[in-house]
Amino acid sequence: MLTKTINTVIAGLVLLSGFAIAEDVHVNNDIIPLEISNNAVLLRERALLDDLSVDIVESLTTEVGPRRVGTEGDKRAIAWAQAKFKELGFDRVWTEEVPIEHGWIRGDANAEIVSPYPHNVVMTALGYSVGTNGDLVGELADFPTLEDLEAVPEGDSLKGKIAYVSYSMADYVPQPGEPRMAGYGKGTQARSRGHVVAAKRGADAVIIRSVGTDSNRYAHTGSGYGYEDGVRKIPAAAISPPDAILIQNMMKRGEPVVLKMNMTSKITGPVRGANVIGEITGRSGSDDYLVLGAHLDSWDEGTGAIDDGAGIGSMMAAAAMIGQMEQRPNRSIRVLLFAAEEIGLVGVRAYYEEHKDELDNHILGAEVDGGGGRAHTLISGVGETSLPIVREMHKLVAPLGIEWSDANDATGASDMSVLGRAGMPALNFMQNSNDYFMYHHTPNDTFDKIIPEDMRLITAAYATVFYVAAEMEIDFRK
Amino acid sequence: MLTKTINTVIAGLVLLSGFAIAEDVHVNNDIIPLEISNNAVLLRERALLDDLSVDIVESLTTEVGPRRVGTEGDKRAIAWAQAKFKELGFDRVWTEEVPIEHGWIRGDANAEIVSPYPHNVVMTALGYSVGTNGDLVGELADFPTLEDLEAVPEGDSLKGKIAYVSYSMADYVPQPGEPRMAGYGKGTQARSRGHVVAAKRGADAVIIRSVGTDSNRYAHTGSGYGYEDGVRKIPAAAISPPDAILIQNMMKRGEPVVLKMNMTSKITGPVRGANVIGEITGRSGSDDYLVLGAHLDSWDEGTGAIDDGAGIGSMMAAAAMIGQMEQRPNRSIRVLLFAAEEIGLVGVRAYYEEHKDELDNHILGAEVDGGGGRAHTLISGVGETSLPIVREMHKLVAPLGIEWSDANDATGASDMSVLGRAGMPALNFMQNSNDYFMYHHTPNDTFDKIIPEDMRLITAAYATVFYVAAEMEIDFRK
């Protein structure tokens, strides 16, 4: 109610001031009608003053916390999401079950260097790793990158050893043309395949330096989901950056570094997750809808505030604010909270299988899964004919300091890119992800890392452009 | 050998350039003779280029690591310190045993919120706390400060509860006239006395929000050393700042917050530490000496890089560089590495008892125990008659961006303040300690937190002024 009152007050001020807001930002009203662009600006300004997105993250991280798929936390998260959608006035709310082949128990992960100098090491199991079955002791065989490990011929030359991929995302300098965080992709290679590559060379386990940009004494977990048939299942773990630096300094002294590790992690039988969907139902009665995505699951060490509470908060809030306007938007807007993103986009793949016949009804999609950092660039992935309209939509967010990218190759990001690559048009705000790669997948991913002004900005940006897309009869298809 | 060559080269350049360096920094050579001020400037410039202090911290943190008094790590540290002094060319090296009434085993510390929402909590035992003897479950009774807890009348009103002091150093705003980090002292009140105050009101345990300025998910340990006779010994622990914020958010919802904790820490029988002393023996043969201090022990979760590896590195390096000059200084310089600072300045108190009859021989003292942060101000604690000389000494470090403080109330800092308050003249460089209070007493106090340029600066600063003090026949006494 309050929000409607505020809208009315601002609209009144606009009328009194005697000029159309949209002119002020130079929107071409032959392309976006004046009433729609005016409403979009009012919505944007209101969103910039509203902490709804932050409050949603606070609620999720406080009342639910960690929510790895299949855990009790995930079940609480599914119930929380449904209740939150209803509380926020979504018209339809439902879940779609996602079967997962295996569950996983993290257990404990302890490690210490036993030689040349005794030290505790902060280590965490990579997702879906097997345990060590008691103490596992081995000399570290250091490989600067996964490629260096792959260069070792298959066989048993690493027998009795622990393969160690010491690649540092923090130290990676992007090549010309590479995105700023290109080092992440390189790091995830060892994280997702190191256990298979190392096992084929006889290693007893694989350890990686955490894939992150920070220098905090946390290990970043992540998915090593999936052993290869016929290849020995060896434990996979990550160690913290300071411990990686310590080991590097030890190795400089020329003596073998011997690690003892003990992990009680365990793969279990099947579990179930669920995609949770909330809809603001459009007034046109059309079967088409816009989709805003985030993932509901998180890793299990922090409370999943930036990964992906920030996405849930901003997308739920953006749609809710559109829903709180004087009338329902023309087209429906669905918020898709996907299950099991962290173990390999499992929830969205189930969604795709279920909904591929209606892919054409997905008019436009986006996902936030890079934290709540400042939005800096709008990038589209739409048909040529709708580009002039998207350029006008950009003018509505340009006052937020958001640039425009001509690349037109957006796919929706993270989960949503599965749909984007299958043909769904997409619109994404690129964000500053510096903080994200310091905290994500660690115990340090907690609510205090959320920066409210950045969350308000990303929420305002998505609310603005998706409101316009929902109001107008635009075909974004390629 | 290399260093002597460099000195010679620089000295040669100075001679060729045809002017006295000291004139360049406006030192009054009627007060500090030209040769001494020239040598001081050369020493300063050489120290700014030399990573010796950093290398010492690297050696200590890599080869020894955590070294809480009485542990195996502490024994390794004592051996390491003696070997390092010898390697660095100190003329005399010895240890002085320090008996400690009790040892302590940290054990494990696990905690979780069981209601209203289940959550893991990152907790650490405060030093010398008793354990919980199994699971201890209690509702948190929140007190904003220790004073608020003290305001509860003694008795059993907190029976069955866990007293929780939620004071946040990070949020404390210093009052006019208070030093920037005044919030630390306020935080340590609950850390050092909370267990006694809470027990007198019937609480089963006391928990504090970590005393630190960071927002990382580590609990800062620290000493709660010493239970009071006749008062029930209750467990004392600290929780991480993000967990404190989580609890605060839960409490806003109005429901009781119930914590389950399990700590296996244990107080043991007596242990022994040692003060380790290295001396650059002066050429004068006088019984007088200058003292540079740091503490050898550390807490047991990180590797004690900033607390107090930084002090050990800078003080050992400053004295070693003076010792590497063409001739021994006039007066002796001793580096005192104290035992058991972290549990209440125990090593320096033993030192004082042993050496109080020679306190007059301690011509001037200083300690670094606030990390390796940038030195910004020189402050003296000397007799009025020597103030003009100290002011000239300051001119030799002013080009490093170091200010002068007129307060003349320095006592040497940390351990050394025990001697300073007993009458020893002191000279201290105040340092930026922002980083220090983010990392100290946590697993995150590791070598990668050392900033080499700041370490070179503090080392250069102490080397410069203590070289002058060692060369001249100054009586600094009050």
Q: What percent of chain B has pLDDT over 90?
A: 91
> Rounded to whole angstroms, how far apart are CA atoms B131 and B45?
52
- pLDDT, position A3: 44
Q: Give the mean pLDDT of A165-191.
A: 92
- Is B306 among the domain residues? yes
Q: Which residues of A touch B250 (CB under 8 A)?
A: 62
SS3 call for A169: helix
CA of B13 vs chain A CAs: smallest distance (Å) = 36
Q: Which residue has the tokens 């050092």?
A: B192
Q: Is residue B227 part of a domain?
A: yes
B447 touches chain A (CB under 8 A): yes
Residue in A119, A216, A242 closest to B216 by CB: A216
A272 beta partners: A99
CB contact under 8 A, B447 and A249: yes
| Residue B246 belongs to some domain of the structure | yes
Search chain A and give the residue with CA nearest B249. A62
Q: Does residue B65 belong to the interface with chain A, where contact is any CB pair within 8 Å? A: yes
pLDDT exceeds cutoff 80 at B431? yes
Bridge partners (DSSP) of residue B429 are: B378
The answer to whether the Cβ–Cβ distance between B62 and A250 falls below 8 Å is: yes
B427: distance to nearest CA of chain A, Å? 34
Spatial CA neighbour of B367 closest among B405, B420, B403: B420
pLDDT of residue A224: 66
Report the pLDDT averaged over residues A178-187.
89
Query: Quick one: B320 and B407 in the same domain?
Result: yes
Residue B5: pLDDT over 60: no
- B394 in the same domain as B356: yes
Q: What is the pLDDT of residues B46-101, one digit of tens each?
A: 999 999 999 999 999 999 999 999 999 999 999 999 999 999 999 999 999 999 99
Q: Which residue of A has its CA nearest to B65?
A: A119
Q: Is residue A196 located within the same domain as residue A290? A: no
Q: Check whether A5 has a pLDDT greater than 70.
A: no
Q: What is the DSSP letter of A343?
A: T
Nearest-Å Rg of the Cα atoms of chain B is 24
Backbone angles phi, psi at B124, to 5 degrees: -140, 145
Q: How distant is the Cα of B240 from the closest Cα of chain A, in angstroms?
A: 10
How far, in Å, CA of B127 to CA of B239, rounded? 14
My answer on whether B226 and B293 are in the same domain is: no
CA B149 to CA B139: how far, in whole Å?
Answer: 15
**Residue B15 has what pLDDT?**
46
Neighbouring-strand partners of residue B332: B289
CB contact set of A151 (below 8 Å; sequence gap of 6+): none
Residue B315 has phi, psi (to 5 degrees) of: -75, -45
Other CB atoms within 10 Å distance of the CB of residue A75: 17
Average pLDDT of the residues in B237-252? 98
Distance from CA of A444 to the nearest CA of B (A): 5
B246 reaches A (C-beta below 8 A): yes
Check if the beta carbon of residue B409 is closer than 8 Å to that of residue B357: no
Judge contact between A164 and A250, C-beta under 8 A: no
Mean residue pLDDT of chain A comes to: 94
pLDDT at B180: 82
Contact B136, B260 (CB under 8 A): yes
Structural domain total, chain A: 2
Q: Residue A134 carries which DSSP code?
A: S
Share of chain A above pLDDT 90, in %: 91
Confidence class for position B264, pLDDT limits 50, 70, 90: very high
Domain C-terminal end among B230, B248, B267 = B267
What is the CATH classification number for the domain harbouring B155? 3.50.30.30
Residues B216 and B297 in one domain: no
User: What CATH number is attached to the domain comprising B11?
Assistant: 3.40.630.10
Residues A67 and A134 in one domain: no
At B478, the pLDDT band (50, 70, 90 cuts) reads confident
Query: Do A239 and A295 belong together in one domain?
Result: no
At A463, the amino acid letter reads A
A62 to chain B, any CB pair closer than 8 A? The answer is yes
Task: Work out the angle at residue A165's Cα, subtended by the Cα atoms of residues A160 and A166, and round it to the nearest 5 degrees.
Answer: 125
Residue A189 lies in a domain: yes
Least Cα separation, residue A23 to chain B (angstroms): 43
3-state secondary structure chain B: CHHHHHHHHHHHHHHHHCCCHHHHCCCCCCCCCHHHHHHHHHHHHHHHCCCHHHHHHHHHHHHCCCCCCCCHHHHHHHHHHHHHHHHCCCCEEEEEEEEECCCEECCCEEEEEEECCCEEECEEECECCCCCCCCEEEEEEEECCHHHHHCCCCCCCCCCEEEEECCCHHHCCCCCCCCCCHHHHHHHHHHHHHHHHHHCCCCCEEEEECCCCCCCCCCCCCECCCCCCCCCCCCEEEECHHHHHHHHHHHHCCCCCEEEEEECCEECCCEEEEEEEEEECCCCCCCCEEEEEEECCCCCCCCCHHHHHHHHHHHHHHHHHHHCCCCCCCCEEEEEEECCCCCCCHHHHHHHHHHHHHHHHEEEEEECCCCCCCEEEEEEECCHHHHHHHHHHHHHHHHHCCEEECCCCCCCCCCHHHHHHCCCCEEEEEECCCCHHHHCCCCCCCHHHCCHHHHHHHHHHHHHHHHHHHHCCCCCCC
Among A66, A117, A246, whose Cβ lies nearest the Cβ of B447? Answer: A246
What ranges make up the beta strands (E) of A150-252?
Answer: 161-165, 205-209, 236-239
Identify all chain A residues contacting B444, using CB atoms and an 8 Å cutoff. Answer: 216-217, 242
Q: How confident is the model at residue B3 (pLDDT cuts 50, 70, 90)?
A: very low
What are B269's two structure tokens?
Answer: 């029988």
Residue B446 in contact with partner chain A when CB distance is under 8 A:
yes
Token pair 């209101």 is found at A46
Q: Name the average pLDDT for chain B.
A: 94
B80 shares contact with chain A (CB less than 8 Å): no
Asked if A368 and A417 count as a contact pair (C-beta separation under 8 A), the reply is: no
In a domain, A220, yes or no: yes
Residue A74 belongs to some domain of the structure: yes
Tell me: pLDDT of B279 over 70.
yes
Residues of A with Cβ-Cβ distance to B304 under 8 angstroms: none
DSSP-derived 3-state class of residue A18:
coil
B117 CB neighbours in chain A (<8 A) are: 62-65
Average pLDDT (B196-218) is: 97
Kindly list the residues from chain B whose CB atom is less than 8 angstroms away from the CB atom of residue A111: none
Asked if A246 reaches chain B (Cβ–Cβ under 8 Å), the answer is yes
| B419 Rama class: left (phi>0) / alpha (psi -120 to 50) / beta | alpha
Inter-helix orientation angle B452-471/B387-397, to 10°: 140
Rounded to 5°, angle at Cα B316 from B312 and B319? 145
Q: Is the dihedral of CA A116, A122, A126, A130 positive or negative?
A: positive
- CA-based nearest residue in chain A for residue B76: A117
Distance CA B52, CA B431 (A): 19
Calculate how close chain B gets to A82, using CA atoms only, in Å: 18
What size, in residues, is chain B?
A: 478
Among A61, A120, A216, whose Cβ lies nearest the Cβ of B444?
A216
* A274 within some domain: yes
Residue B73 Cα distances to A117, B57, B101, B245, angstroms = 10, 15, 19, 34
Report yes or no on B439 lying in a domain: yes
Interface test with A, best of B246, B248, B435, B449 (most A CBs within 10 A): B246
Distance CA A220, CA B9 (A): 49
Q: B297, B77 in Cβ contact below 8 A?
A: yes
User: What pLDDT, in 10s, does the model give residues B139-168?
Assistant: 999 999 999 999 999 999 999 999 999 999
Report yes or no: A84 at the B interface, CB cutoff 8 Å: no
Residues of B in contact with A250 (CB under 8 A): 62
Same domain, B72 and B135: no
Q: How confident is the model at residue B14 (pLDDT cuts 50, 70, 90)?
A: very low
What is the structure's pLDDT at A2?
39
CA nearest to B122 within chain A: A443
Listed in sequence order, the residues at least 6 apart from B434 whose beta carbon sits closer than 8 Å to its beta carbon are B213, B373
Determine the pLDDT at residue B25.
Answer: 53
List CB contacts (< 8 A) between B253 and chain A.
62
Q: B60-79 burial, b if ≥16 CB within 10 A, otherwise e?
A: bbbbbbbbbbbbebbbbbbe
For B10, counting Cβ atoms within 10 Å of its Cβ (0-12 exposed, 13-18 middle, 19+ buried), the class is middle
- CA atoms within 13 A of residue B261's CA, in its CB half-sphere: 32
pLDDT of residue A198: 98
Check B446 against A217: CB less than 8 A apart.
Answer: yes
Residue B351 has pLDDT above 90, yes or no: yes
Nearest Cα neighbor of B309 from B459, B416, B94 is B459
Cβ separation A246–B62 shorter than 8 A: yes
The tens digit of pLDDT for each residue in A77-87 reads 999 999 999 99
Residue B1: which residues within 8 A CB-CB, separation 6 or more?
none
Convert B435-461 to b/e letters by CB count within 10 Å (16 or more is b): bbbbbbbbbbbbbbbbbeebbbbbbbb
Interface residue B339 vs chain A (CB under 8 A): no
CA distance B77 to chain A (A): 12
Half-sphere exposure in the Cβ direction for B300 (13 Å, CA): 22
Give B-chain residues touching A122 at CB under 8 angstroms.
443
**Which pLDDT value is given to residue A225?**
67
CA of A28: how far to CAs of A383, A408, A467, in Å? 20, 21, 17
* Coil, helix or strand at residue A97: strand
Q: pLDDT tens across A337-360, in order? A: 999 999 999 999 999 999 999 999
CA B220 to chain centre: 15
- pLDDT value for A180: 82
| Whether B314 contacts B462, CB under 8 Å | yes
A366-375 confidence digits (pLDDT tens): 999 999 999 9
Query: Do both A278 and A359 map to the same domain?
Result: yes
Residue with tokens 């940390």: B414
In the predicted model, is pLDDT for residue B6 greater than 70?
A: no
Do the chains contact at B448 and A302, CB–CB below 8 Å?
A: no
Task: Give residue B451's identity as a one-letter amino acid code.
Answer: I
Q: Which residues of A touch B303 (CB under 8 A)?
A: 119, 246
- What's the pLDDT score for residue B357? 97
Q: Compute, in degrees rounded to 10, the torsion defined by CA atoms A53, A55, A56, A60.
A: 140
User: Rounded to 10 degrees, what is the CA torsion of A71, A72, A74, A79?
Assistant: 160
Q: In the listed set B267, B284, B318, which residue is the last one of a domain according to the structure? A: B267
The minimal CB distance from A217 to the residues B241, B245, B444 is found for B444
Q: What average pLDDT does this structure show over A424-435?
A: 95
C-alpha closest to that of A217 among B451, B297, B217, B112? B217
ipTM of the complex as predicted = 0.91
Give the pLDDT of residue B179.
84
Looking at the fold, whether B282 and B420 belong to one and the same domain comes out as yes
Q: Is A241 near chain B, with CB under 8 Å? A: yes
Q: Write the pLDDT tens digit of every residue in A12-28.
A: 444 444 445 544 458 99
Which chain B residues are within 8 Å of A217, Cβ to Cβ? 218, 302, 442-444, 446
Q: Do A217 and B302 touch (CB under 8 A)?
A: yes
Q: Residue B245 and residue A118: Cβ atoms within 8 Å?
A: no
Residues A417, A300 share a domain: yes
Where among A267, A291, A306 does a domain terminate? A267
Residue A68, classed as helix, strand or coil, is coil
Judged against a pLDDT cut of 90, whether residue B13 lies above it is answered with no
Task: Give the position of tokens 């958010």.
Answer: B249
Residue reference for tokens 């569950």: A103
| Structure confidence at residue B434 (pLDDT) | 87
- CA distances (Å), origin B427, targets A157, A312, B75, B339, B380: 59, 55, 31, 22, 4
C-alpha B295/C-alpha B275 separation (Å) is: 8
pLDDT value of residue A102: 93
Q: pLDDT tens across B221-238, in order?
A: 998 668 999 999 999 999
Q: Does B138 touch chain A (CB under 8 A)?
A: no
Give the pLDDT score at B26. Answer: 82
Residue B295 and residue B173 share a domain: no
Closest residue of B to A66, CA-based? B119
Cβ under 8 Å to A: B residues 189-228: 215-218
List B residues 254-283 in contact with A (Cβ-Cβ < 8 A). none
B63, A303: Cβ pair inside 8 Å?
A: no
Query: A62 and B249 in contact by Cβ < 8 A?
Result: yes
Identify the residue whose tokens are 């436009």: A364
pLDDT digits (tens, 9 = 90+) for A290-324: 999 999 999 999 999 999 999 999 999 999 999 99
Domain region containing B93: 2-102+270-471
Q: Do A102 and A291 meet the contact criterion of CB atoms below 8 Å apart?
A: no
* Helices A52-63, A72-87: inter-axial angle, 10-degree rounding: 150
Measure A477 CA to nearest chain B CA, in Å: 44
Cis peptide before A308 (omega within 30 of 0): yes
CB count within 10 Å of CB A97 equals 12
**Contact status of A440 with chain B (Cβ, < 8 Å):** no
